[in-house]
Amino acid sequence: MVTRIIWANDGTLSADRALPVIKDLIASTGASLTVSYVHRDWHLGHRPVLVEDHQPIEAELRRRVDALIAEGFDADLALHDNDGGHPAQLIADLAQDEGADLIVAGSHGRGPVAGLLLGSFTSHLLKVAHCPVLIVPWRPPGPDRATGQAHEVSAN
C-alpha cells in the first residue's frame, strides 16, 4: 500500500501533468505527499557556473502545496540545494529518508540541452531510486497525432 509519495517537481509543464495522477493516487490510498524541488544550478565540478533564479518556481510550488492542503490533502514542500550532485540522487535519497513508497515525476524536464549536460533526470532516477517510480508521460499542447483531439494541459 502506498502511504507516502514524493513528487519530483522542477516547475515544468511535464511535472505539472503528474498532479491529476497524484491526486487520484492519494484519493485511493490516503497517502501523504511531499512536493520536492532541487535547485538546478549548473556546476563545473563543485563550482556553480550558472545560477538559476529559483524564487519564481519555489513561490509557485508553495502556492501549489497550499492549494493541495486547502483541498484536504496532507502535503508539504521540500526544497533542496544542489552542491553539484545529480538531482535524481537527491530525490532518491529524500524518498529513502522519508520512507516513501513511490516517487512520481514527469517524463521531461528542463529541455534537451540540460539533458545533454546533466544527463536525463528520469533515466537516472530509475537507476538510483529505492522505491517504485511512476513516470507520467508528457504530451505537448496541441492535437494528439493519433486522434486529432486536443490534449488537456491543465495541471488541476
Strand, coil or helix: what is 21?
helix
CA-CA-CA-CA torsion sign (144, 150, 155, 156): negative
Enumerate domains of the chain plus CATH numbers. 4-136 (3.40.50.620)
Under-70 pLDDT residues of the chain: 40-54, 83-84, 108-119, 139-156
**Secondary element (H or E) of residue 94:** helix 87-97
CB 133 within 8 Å of CB 92 = no
Looking at residue 138, its pLDDT comes to 72
pLDDT score of 11: 83
Judge whether 96 and 108 are in contact, CB under 8 Å.
Answer: no
pLDDT of residue 40: 66
Q: Report the C-alpha gap between 137 and 58 in whole angstroms.
A: 23
Closest CA to 108 of 2, 6, 11: 11
Q: What is the pLDDT of residue 1?
A: 87
User: Quick one: pLDDT at residue 147?
Assistant: 57
Cell 508528457 locates to 138
Contact 43, 87 (CB under 8 A): no
Dump pLDDT digits (tens) for 36-56. 998 765 555 565 554 565 688
Query: SS3 for 78?
Result: strand
